Amino acid sequence: MNLLEWMKTKIMGRGESPFKMPEERSTNEEIKGDFIQCSEEEVGRWDKEWLNYLLREYPYQLAPFHRYPDKPPLPNNPLDFLNLNLGWGPPLCLYCNREAIEGKAIMEMGCGCGNLGKLISRYCDTYLGVDCSRIALAVAKLVSPSNCTYIHMNQHEELKGFFGWIDTIVSRFFWIHQNMEMAKKVLSFLEPFLKSNGKIYIDFFWPNPEEAIGFWKETSLIFSPDQPLSESPSAVYKYSFEDVKKLILDFNYRIVHQELHGASQRRYVIVEKIS
């Protein structure tokens, strides 16, 4: 048994998470979901990817929420979230408005091992993390506080319980890896979760190597959104503002804000669900 297999056995063999779902909510049967089914091949691919991350970054990935000592006030400028630090470990690397977090019901698409959930949960009311990797979700449940819930993409019945309940959807390092076809599927999947006028904070890739700093420079495979989805998990898709408008054209969303940020090579976009 190699090290990756041993780690997988240790993480997945720990039984049920001690954390419970938030209080049970009745599902609105009138809300229909457009679920994304992850194949076993996709699940295995992302499990392997997250095991590799754990090998390299285990001090932070496996650190429980109480290892981070601070609760600084959230900044007013969403760009300032990128460098917000909670006393230990890396910064949040999140783009969001303070009022979209504090006391709200938050959902994260592509939550991984709960690196954001275990920290942002000290500011929000409740947090829901969704991912394709079972291993990442198993770790997330072990390191997060009780107001966090983690559900696999394929657990459709469990996900239905959150329809019409989410105020804000956030992501980090997720949308940059989605081509137009997959991004449309994700937007369709997310729509039922949002309350009326709920918002999605999206971080699209937009190249700016002259201004990029630190790890934000790390881009190798760059494609246009209309190209096929790459097999490489590090591939990124550059979205112009016209691409963004094309993306949301057939959905009940409207763009309320967008801005370019050279240091992180991002086009940050906020979309709102239309009543």
DSSP string covering the chain, please?
Answer: --HHHHHHHHHHTT-S-S--PSSP----TTPPP---PPPHHHHHHHHHHHHHHHHHHHHHHT--GGG----PPPPSSGGGGGG---SSSS-------GGGTTT-EEEEES-TTTTTHHHHTTTSSEEEEEES-HHHHHHHHHHS-TTEEEEETT-HHHHHTTTT-EEEEE-SSSGGG--HHHHHHHHHHHGGGEEEEEEEEEEEE---TTT--GGGG----EE-TTSPPPSSTT-EEB--HHHHHHHHTTSSEEEEEEEEEGGGTEEEEEEEE--
At 16 the pLDDT is: 42
User: How far apart, in whole angstroms, are the C-alpha atoms of residue 151 and residue 148?
Assistant: 10
**Percentage of the chain surpassing pLDDT 90?**
77
Between these two residues, 18 and 42, which has the higher pLDDT value? 42
Neighbours of 95 (CB within 10 A): 23
Per-residue pLDDT tens for 233-248?
789 999 999 999 999 9
* 5 band by pLDDT with thresholds 50, 70 and 90: low
- pLDDT of residue 8 exceeding 80, the answer is no
The verdict on domain 36-273 having CATH code 3.40.50.150 is yes
Instruction: Please state the pTM of the whole predicted model.
Output: 0.89
At 218 the pLDDT is: 83
Average pLDDT value for the chain? 89
- Mean pLDDT, residues 138-157 taken together: 97
- pLDDT of residue 261 exceeding 50, the answer is yes
At 149 the pLDDT is: 98
Between these two residues, 226 and 30, which has the higher pLDDT value? 226
Per-residue pLDDT tens for 70-122?
999 999 999 999 999 998 889 999 999 999 999 999 999 999 999 999 999 99
**Percentage of the chain surpassing pLDDT 70?**
88
- pLDDT of residue 138 exceeding 80, the answer is yes
